[in-house]
Each structure stands twice: as C-alpha cells, then as structure tokens.
Structure 1
C-alpha cells in the first residue's frame, strides 16, 4: 500500500480536498465532454449489435484514455451501501446512472450481472454507484428511494427491482417507490419513507450529481474504470477489456513496475 500522510488536521484535510477537486476539474476540462471523449467519432469506434449505437474503442494501450486524477474519485468505503465488491479491489467501476434511463436498465439487466459473476465475485472488481438523475422529478425521487433502501442494506435489491423490465414505465411516484422497497425486502417501510424524504438523501444525491457534472457527463449511463471514461450501455466485451487492462496495470504497479 502506498504511504499516506499522517496529518489529519481539518485544515490539511480541506487542503487535500481542494487540491484533488482542482486536479479533477483540470482533468475534466482535458476530457471535454465526457460522453464525446468516451465514444468520439473517428477513434475506431464501431457499432453495437443493432448497428446504430456508438461503441467505445478501448485501446490496446492500457494507459491510453486513463486519467489518474479521475481514478481518485473511487471512494473505496467498505461501509458504502451503494457499492459492491472488496474495498481494496484492484479495479473500481464507478457508474453514474438514472433509474429512468433505458440504457442504464439495459446495462443493469444484460451486462452488470455477468461482470459481477466474472470479476466482483473473485475480488478483481468493485462497483460503486452514483445517483445521476437527469430526467426530472421522478428520477430524483427514485434516486432518493435507492439511497433510502441502502440505509437498510437493500440498495442492490432496490436497484434490481427498479431496473426490471417494464419498471420505469410504471413511474416512480411515492406509492410506486414504496412498492419497490417492499419488493426489495426493505424491512422498515416507515423508516424508508422518512429516509426518502430526508435532507440526508437530498444531499447525497446532490453530491453524486455534482460530481458527474464536474466530469462533463451529460448522459447516462457514464462510467469510470480506474480513471478510464466509458459512456453508454456498451457491449460486455468493452467493459471486460477495460477491466482486464486495468487489473493488469494494477498488478504491475503492485510489483513495482
């Protein structure tokens, strides 16, 4: 493990936060528009199986398109209820998503389960969720509902229920969010309702959203894989290639390359 500063004074902590924030902002400016950089035309990007969606080109150079300052956005909090996988996993995938986003649902149903089975379960990958509600009031409510379910350890079950086929078409009004929480196995629905409408929920969602906008993200889903941006519900192979390259790079760093 890399050495860390022992200075834990509030002033020092604030200073580090400002420094990291400024560096991330510079990196985001270098990125331009997040989704454009991840799938920019003329970069060798192809089409998906339907032939109509840009597919990100992941370079064979494991460092191309990787921004070290963006890698620092991985929180690696072992108690984070909106994350799965080891806190010290060599690769962290950060997802910025909206529960009303159809392509987010496609990723959740078609791609993410395979990544969990192949990489999370063996300790290679950690997935960290960021609420990025961009489709209006119901998106915001669903984000707070997911956060509230997480306070009772049922975020991923809520996530699965909210992204099930046909779920977003039913909307995310208050009674629907309660039904999703019940489906997810949230034990205390009264607490869920209070947490859903709490200032803490609003603050958590706002912080995630601000982080996404600072990166230049303008669409969902958007991803960071150890500092490499990817946008859209890319094919599983695109994620697998990026994850394996990131894991190989982490291994080399661990060996003191």
Structure 2
C-alpha cells in the first residue's frame, strides 16, 4: 500500500534541471519507482538512474515496465485503459516491497503540464497523500535554448497539442502558440504566411537539436531533422513555439 506518493519533476533531460527540493525529496524517499520503456529507450531509464545516483539517496529503486497503448481503441478509451494499466503496474511492482516511507516517481518535465501522472495516481486504492515537486517544463527548456521570451509584450499565449492543432487550427486571439505531444508535424496543417517557428527536440540533453525560422521555409527542414533524429535514437520528444509576425 502506498501511503505517501511524491511526484518529482526532473526537467527535460539535464540532471541539473532537478531542483534542490527535488533532490532532497529523492534523499527522503523510501522507494523510487523507475519505468522502463522497452528497446531503444534505455537512455530514458538511464537518465533517471543517473539523477537518483546524483541525489545520494538510500531509497530502494524498483523498476516497472511501461505498458503500450492499444492503437485499435478510440483515443480517449485508449488513454484511459493505458492509465488504468500503469496504476496496476505501480501496485504490482510494490506488492512484495516493504515500504516504510514515501514512494517517489521521477516525472519528465513537470507533473502539472501535459503529464498524466497525477491522474494515474488518483486511480490508486486507497488514495495516497500526494506531494508534487515542480520541475522545468519543456516550454521553459525550449524558450531558454532559443533565448526567446515565451510571450510578446502583454500578448496572449495558447498551449495546445498537435492533435488539437490539426483539429481546430490556429487558436483564436493567440499571438503565440506552443505545441506539445505532436508526432505528426501538425504545423504543416497551418497557413504558414506570417508565422515563425522555434522547434527543439531532446531539450536539455546532450542530443539537443534546435531549428527556427519562417514556417514556410523551416517546415521541410524541421520534418527532415525530426525523421533523422528519431531514426538515430529510436524515439523523440520535441516541442515548438509558433508566433505571428
């Protein structure tokens, strides 16, 4: 049984993204759950283990295998079933462990932004006491890497997903749009006239790659860079910012 669950944001790839509060939480945890995501993604688990080691914690580290989404199901049903299975795997991983204190999970980026770890935690029965330790978001890492502000002077910002951008188009009244969780280069569905793009992948990692420019000129190059990087690493996490000139 998990009485206290700590969700610790670890940033987007650099161990230096973890805050002092996050490092202290790792040292104070009794158990740390670390997901493995299958062949080709070992570096994600390795990064988590490196952060755990750097913290100097004496917590017991327990690995669990991440389930795969069922592509045959409709989107909401697919994600709901996936979250249900993840919660079950947390509990299964801990069933034989002696948990004498908080259980910690290292969350990529920040637990509050386009991450479902909190929603998964709500499936646990009994419901544990949940603590959130914030982390560096992909948006912060992107704007810092490109040395740009997130917003124009007093201008509105819309954060959305590739799926929503394809379905809804450019959000009304937004001057700046940040797009996350986009595996299909959804910026191609927009009229590129008057749009600038700042794109980044593997943000915060040694493999970080960046590109920016007018969308009309940059779209082909970003898509090519993305395909090459994904083939090389077996996976990719990227995000981008679009702004009207």
Instruction: Point out which structure has higher relative CO (alpha carbons under 8 A, 6+ apart).
Output: 1
| Larger fraction in strand | 2
For this structure pair, what is the TM-score category when the shorter chain's length is used for normalisation? under 0.3
What TM-score, normalized by structure 1, do the two folds share?
0.27
| Larger fraction in helix | 1
